[in-house]
Amino acid sequence: MTVCYIGNSFKYETEAVLKLFLPIVTFDFLFEEYPQVGDFCIIKREPNNDGYTLSVTVSLDGTNESLEETRSGDFSDKDDEAALCKMLYLIMQKLKGVTPAWGLLTGIRPVKKVNELLDRGLDKAEIFSALKEKYFVSDEKLELAYSTAVTQADALAALDKRSYSLYVSIPFCPSRCSYCSFVSHSIESAGAKKLLPDYVKKLCEEIAQTSEIARELGLRLDTIYIGGGTPTALSAEQLEAVMSAVKKNFDISKIREYTVEAGRSDTITEKKLEIIRDFGATRISVNPQTMNDAVLEAIGRRHTAKDVVSAFDKARRLGFGNINMDVIAGLPTDTPESFLQTIETLCGLDPESITIHTLTVKRSSKLFSEEERRVDGRKQQFHFENENKILRQNPYTQNFGSDFVHFLRGMAVSEMVLTGQTVLLEKGYLPYYLYRQKNTVDNLENVGFAKAGYECLYNIYIMEEAQTILAVGAGGSTKLVNTGTGKIERLFNYKFPYEYISRYDKMISKKDRIAEFFAGI
Ligand code: SF4
């Protein structure tokens, strides 16, 4: 589709709205130029005698729809952009016959919007009405976002403004899952094996240097999160080295939470669990993603549902009283029945929290890249080829042809997510953090559910951008938050372990910015 901007260049937000309805269409963008052929969208702001006119025209599969509005007075660019997005949304809704549950709310933090309105003193009815009016969000999603805001209110209120969380990044995994787009390195590759000793060494150095920075600034450590990747993909000795560096350099006696993402059950051993426990972690994640063995195989996992249960039991036996389990709705070959079965099996294990993610398919995942190589140079076709493959694998979708939107509905991912969320609510789990990602099937959300008192503080603070996070390790992203002004600044570590090791000194010198940021706060 060709998207033309006349008298404006509101590309970012309008493209996001178009993608709600046309998730896999490739767009060409023109500025101050009209389209020649094919499907198009014209987004226009032009002066008239009374002021100016905003208009949107879309031509899709031979059908044309337009909306326009004349304006005069004091409107900002942001107001005009919002009005054009609304018009575009209404046109696309009509042309595609689809009403996205999150309306035209395309950002990744819907709860933040609710929290902002709560802070301004609005009550539930007023919040619902404001978000419906502005973004067309459905009642069902408003209810979810509102309940999440209510659950996390205490954690946000209890926040010490000079506290921070420490994130330790371990970007290694035992093997790569087919849907994964994360920069994670298979621990079995020769390259990773060679890099790991140096990686652990540099990571321990960075842990020590970061503790020094925080100490000099008088910041107080509140929570720790060792994530990945799969931190337990490290050997027991390497894991011990990292956790011992944390213990040696930080005062962990006063922190409120210490999570280690144990992640995949094929990496969880009794010895590693003992190290995690003995070095002070209070919370772990055992992430099956699905408890259906056929789906585990389809996504390239080398463990079974039985292995997950055994890892979970081991952790319980060793005294872990706060365990999270992650699942993903929409995995290739999964079905609503099997997804429900997964949720029920996990509830049977009775973990303290369960997080329901929705599948995000990115170009860097194996699901796509395998196809990309095969249809080299034919980008558009690569999408359809790949989707056809997924369609054929799934009994619910094998008859849907190559229409991706049909695929999304055929997978009934919305149904999976809704049913899963309903079961968890019935079992007494409450939503406590929520975020959305781009390229997520059906534009759905990821929601962490927890029993009361077991909400993961780190997850809440990172998602609501409420606390500074000092990150160490490759791919780590430090987020500096001025809780007074709301100003946020990010510092990025190198993404790839080899870069992280070889350019460590350059990277660490950028951390001077942390002191500058906190000067005067
Ligand atoms: S365990 Fe997670 S990070 Fe590792 S390959 Fe699988 S999806 Fe990616």
Domain membership of residue 444 (yes or no) is: no
User: How remote is the CA of residue 430 from the centroid of ligand 1, in Å?
Assistant: 26
pLDDT digits (tens, 9 = 90+) for 77-134: 999 999 999 999 999 999 998 888 899 988 778 999 999 999 999 999 999 999 999 9
Same domain membership, residue 310 and residue 168: yes
Same domain membership, residue 114 and residue 34: no
Same domain membership, residue 168 and residue 149: no
pLDDT of residue 406: 41
Same domain membership, residue 169 and residue 68: no
User: How remote is the CA of residue 391 from the centroid of ligand 1, in Å?
Assistant: 23
Burial 75-109 (b: 16+ CB within 10 A, else e): eeeeebbbbbbbbbbebbbebeeeebbbbbbbeeb
Domain membership of residue 421 (yes or no) is: no
- State which ligand 1 atom lies nearest to the alpha carbon of 263: 1
Same domain membership, residue 171 and residue 308: yes
- Torsion angle, CA of 450/452/454/457, rounded to 10 degrees? 90
pLDDT of residue 187: 80
CATH number at residue 46: 3.90.950.20
Domain membership of residue 426 (yes or no) is: no
Substitution candidate for ligand 1 out of 230, 265, 289 with most atoms within 8 A of CB: 230
pLDDT digits (tens, 9 = 90+) for 158-176: 898 889 999 999 999 988 7
pLDDT of residue 427: 97
Same domain membership, residue 169 and residue 90: no
Residue 403 predicted with pLDDT over 70: no
Same domain membership, residue 488 and residue 464: yes
Domain membership of residue 37 (yes or no) is: yes
Residue 301 predicted with pLDDT over 90: no
- State which ligand 1 atom lies nearest to the alpha carbon of 176: 5
Same domain membership, residue 133 and residue 197: no
Q: By the 8 A CB rule, do 242 and 170 touch?
A: yes
Same domain membership, residue 167 and residue 135: no
- State which ligand 1 atom lies nearest to the alpha carbon of 175: 5
Residue 229 predicted with pLDDT over 60: yes
Same domain membership, residue 172 and residue 23: no
Q: By the 8 A CB rule, do 474 and 500 touch?
A: yes
User: How remote is the CA of residue 185 from the centroid of ligand 1, in Å?
Assistant: 9
Q: Which residues pair with 143 in a beta bridge?
A: none
Q: How many domains does the chain have?
A: 3
Distance of CA 275 to CAs 323, 325, 456, Å? 16, 20, 21
- State which ligand 1 atom lies nearest to the alpha carbon of 186: 5
Domain assignment of residue 41, given as a range: 2-96
User: How remote is the CA of residue 259 from the centroid of ligand 1, in Å?
Assistant: 17
384 backbone dihedrals φ, ψ, rounded to 5°: -70, -40
| Closest CA relative to residue 159, chosen from 457, 515, 469, 473 | 457
Task: Respond yes or no on whether the N-terminal peptide bond of residue 7 is cis (omega within 30° of 0).
Answer: no
Q: Cβ < 6 Å from ligand 1: which residues?
A: 173, 176-177, 180, 182, 184, 228-230, 263-264
User: How remote is the CA of residue 334 from the centroid of ligand 1, in Å?
Assistant: 18
Rounded CA-CA distance 268/212 in Å is 32
Task: Tell me which of 96, 130, 146 is where a domain ends.
Answer: 96
Same domain membership, residue 216 and residue 142: no
Domain membership of residue 424 (yes or no) is: no
User: How remote is the CA of residue 325 from the centroid of ligand 1, in Å?
Assistant: 14
Burial 457-480 (b: 16+ CB within 10 A, else e): bbbbbbbbebbbbbbbbbbbebbb
DSSP 440: B
DSSP 167: E
| 326 SS3 class | strand
Which residue is closest in CA terms to ligand 1's atom 6? Answer: 177
Domain membership of residue 374 (yes or no) is: no
pLDDT of residue 183: 63
Substitution candidate for ligand 1 out of 175, 182, 287, 326 with most atoms within 8 A of CB: 182
Substitution candidate for ligand 1 out of 169, 173, 266 with most atoms within 8 A of CB: 173
User: What angle do helix axes 366-374 and 379-393 make, rounded to 10 degrees?
Assistant: 120
**Which carries the bigger pLDDT value, residue 333 or residue 137?**
137
Domain membership of residue 396 (yes or no) is: no
Same domain membership, residue 240 and residue 187: yes
Q: What is the pTM of this model?
A: 0.86
Domain membership of residue 468 (yes or no) is: yes
